[in-house]
């Protein structure tokens, strides 16, 4: 680890502030609650905390519609509360990253209020305004990613404004240098305070085709919805995703994006302490030459399957690692605030507990920086809401409305909305087997319903002292990873490339070699993993009891769903 940065060797942990810990008893998470849980996070073993947006917002998109880039939402506390959280994290050896939303603001942001006040306002060009088409309709046929047209008509000024997401999230005009200057001011505000970096939201969408070239998808959004209703696995929906890409071709990954990322990287690099940028995007191109754009780019393709198999993981790693430019560092994750929880997304309904352990072991032993999502460590699952009034995700509300308008019965539309709603993975963290799962006091209505499985042991209090709990497993696994140099910095070499039952690979440094072997079946597996005739294995970590002493890698047996990590000892000299 002689030349690695802190962000290459630590485990990242995403906090969804609204659902993490309610410190003042109003049903909403806040900084007081987060401060109270800093020791818990330290004891878990994570080294960096990424906060989803904590800024003032009317919450049309759960905080991703920002009305003040240098403030704190009142429901979360004050700027002084944030400072106490930052200082508390630093005092415990943990870094803090903020969500940086570059593409758009809230319609309530003072910039947009000025922009829409008149065509002559100095901030008019801070957003994307266009005249109506000759027929009086939108300037072109672009869609919003959240449904409907990407254009909203403003009665007061007689023009349309552009929004890739909700109409409450107007896109900034990054071709205006005043916009860039204002946003870089906000970046410096937090870096000056001591924040350790940013996760960059929706970077693909920052620029759009200035010529407003019409999209030419063969499918409408309603037709895509109908295909989606069939619930086919991603591997069988290639045409759907091709049409989706065609639909948004002129709205994403446009010229100017990489130059902007280089400028942001140069700004961040002015600050001491190896501040870091993580991009919400999976394009390898965001690494630039490996040193001049983003430090980390999420490996989202790993997640795009209904079933994690050895073949899927092997293929993903082969493609991903080969594509990295020299000096670039991988970044792997299996969950976040926008997708189903790991337990639900990749379980089989029978062996979910075993698979959860197997999958996180894979995540923490692949080459690169792993990112966890809050609640995974206790096995939190998706919660499918049953009533329309419970929905907080307007994306699901829009889907429900579109489905009903398309003739789908209301009860079926609600089931569809619940399944796609991001609410399902954003429910309050389950701290105890107590009213409201210990997130809020008894009698308080939480902002989203609490998953009732907190009463079945899916809570921190019952797992923290249980040596067999998932929480204890996470703590042990993270500790083992952090204490094993080969797992932090070693090269990745796949073994047995055609094996369907298990995934096996080596992590190797000049000083240490480790074997990782993961049995994805409900049957024991015996195989040879011998890298040399006389080598031996010393168990570092396993989900199952192992024989005492060293083992022979030429004849290693894995229990059903066992996750095994062993150090390959130097060959014995004759």
Could you please report the per-residue DSSP string of 189-246?
HHHHHT--EEEEETGGGS---TT-PPP--SS-HHHHHHHHHT---GGG-HHHHHHHHH
Which residues are catalytically annotated? Answer: 201, 280
Report how far residue 574's alpha carbon sits from residue 565's, in angstroms, rounded to the nearest whole number. Answer: 27
Segment 309-319, tens digit of pLDDT: 999 999 999 99
- Give the CB-side neighbour count of residue 555, counting CA atoms within 13 A: 2
User: Which has the closest alpha carbon to 54: 42, 41, 40, 69?
Assistant: 69
DSSP class of residue 125 equals G
User: Which has the closest alpha carbon to 423: 460, 456, 387?
Assistant: 387
Ordered by where they begin, the domains of the chain are 6-103+177-208+252-381+429-477 (3.20.20.80), 110-162 (3.90.400.10), 489-569 (2.60.40.1180)
**R_g of the chain computed on alpha carbons:** 24
pLDDT confidence of residue 541? 98
C-alpha to C-alpha distances, 448 to 47, 374, 384, 412, 439, nearest whole angstrom: 28, 16, 11, 21, 11
Report how far residue 361's alpha carbon sits from residue 541's, in angstroms, rounded to the nearest whole number. Answer: 10
pLDDT confidence of residue 573? 46
Non-local (6+) Cβ contacts of 388 within 8 A are 397, 400, 414, 417
pLDDT < 70 positions in the chain: 1-2, 225-236, 531-533, 571-574
User: Which has the closest alpha carbon to 374: 25, 39, 41, 32?
Assistant: 41
Report how far residue 404's alpha carbon sits from residue 24's, in angstroms, rounded to the nearest whole number. Answer: 39
**Which pTM value belongs to this model?**
0.96
Report how far residue 422's alpha carbon sits from residue 284's, in angstroms, rounded to the nearest whole number. Answer: 26
Strands across the sheet containing 151-154: 129-130, 159-162, 151-154
Segment 358-389, tens digit of pLDDT: 999 999 999 999 999 999 999 999 999 999 99
């Amino acid at each position: 680890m002689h030349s690695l940065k802190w962000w290459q060797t630590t485990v990242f942990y995403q906090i969804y502030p609204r659902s993490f810990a309610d410190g003042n008893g109003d049903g909403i998470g806040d900084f007081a609650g987060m401060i109270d849980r800093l020791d818990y996070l330290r004891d878990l073993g994570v080294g960096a905390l990424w906060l989803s947006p904590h800024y003032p917002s009317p919450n049309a998109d759960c905080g991703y519609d920002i009305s003040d880039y240098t403030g704190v939402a009142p429901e979360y506390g004050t700027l002084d509360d944030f400072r106490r959280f930052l200082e508390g994290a630093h005092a415990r050896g943990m870094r803090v990253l903020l969500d940086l939303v570059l593409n758009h603001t809230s319609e309530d942001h003072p910039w947009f209020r000025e922009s829409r006040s008149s065509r002559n306002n100095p901030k008019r060009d801070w957003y994307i305004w266009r005249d109506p088409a000759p027929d009086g309709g939108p300037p072109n046929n672009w869609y919003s990613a959240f449904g409907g047209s990407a254009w909203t008509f403003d009665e007061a000024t007689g023009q349309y404004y552009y929004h890739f997401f909700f109409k409450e999230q107007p896109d900034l005009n990054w071709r205006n240098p005043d916009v860039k200057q204002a946003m870089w001011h906000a970046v410096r505000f937090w870096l000056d305070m001591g924040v350790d970096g940013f996760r960059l939201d929706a970077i693909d969408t920052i620029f759009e085709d200035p010529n407003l070239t019409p999209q030419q998808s063969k499918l409408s959004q309603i037709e895509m919805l109908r295909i989606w209703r069939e619930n086919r696995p991603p591997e069988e929906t290639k045409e759907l995703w091709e049409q989706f890409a065609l639909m948004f071709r002129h709205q994403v990954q446009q010229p100017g994006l990489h130059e902007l990322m280089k400028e942001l990287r140069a700004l961040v690099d002015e600050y001491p302490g190896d501040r870091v940028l993580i991009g919400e995007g999976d394009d390898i191109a965001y690494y630039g030459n490996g040193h001049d754009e983003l430090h980390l780019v999420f490996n989202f393709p790993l997640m795009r399957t209904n079933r994690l198999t050895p073949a899927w993981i092997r293929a993903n790693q082969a493609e991903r690692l080969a594509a990295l430019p020299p000096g670039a560092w991988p970044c792997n994750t299996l969950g976040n605030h926008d997708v189903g929880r790991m337990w639900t997304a990749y379980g089989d309904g029978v062996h979910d507990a075993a698979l959860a352990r197997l999958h996180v072991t894979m995540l923490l032993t692949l080459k690169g920086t792993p990112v966890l999502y809050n609640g995974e460590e206790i096995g939190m699952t998706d919660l499918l809401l049953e009533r329309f009034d419970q929905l907080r995700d307007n994306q699901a509300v829009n889907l429900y409305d579109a489905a009903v308008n398309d003739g789908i019965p209301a009860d079926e539309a609600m089931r569809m909305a619940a399944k796609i709603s991001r609410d399902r993975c954003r429910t309050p963290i389950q701290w105890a087997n107590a009213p409201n799962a210990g997130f809020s006091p008894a009698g308080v209505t939480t902002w989203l319903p609490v998953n009732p499985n907190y009463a079945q042991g899916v809570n921190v209090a019952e797992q923290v002292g249980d040596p067999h709990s998932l929480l204890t497993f996470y703590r042990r696994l993270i500790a083992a990873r952090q204490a094993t140099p080969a797992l932090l910095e070693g090269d990745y070499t796949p073994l047995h490339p055609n094996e369907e039952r298990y995934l096996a690979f080596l992590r190797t440094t000049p000083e240490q070699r480790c074997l990782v072997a993961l049995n994805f079946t409900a049957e024991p597996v015996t195989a040879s993993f011998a890298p040399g005739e006389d080598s031996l294995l010393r168990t570092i970590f396993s989900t199952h009891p192992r024989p005492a002493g060293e083992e022979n890698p030429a004849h290693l047996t894995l229990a059903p769903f066992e996750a095994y990590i062993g150090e390959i000892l130097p060959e014995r000299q004759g």
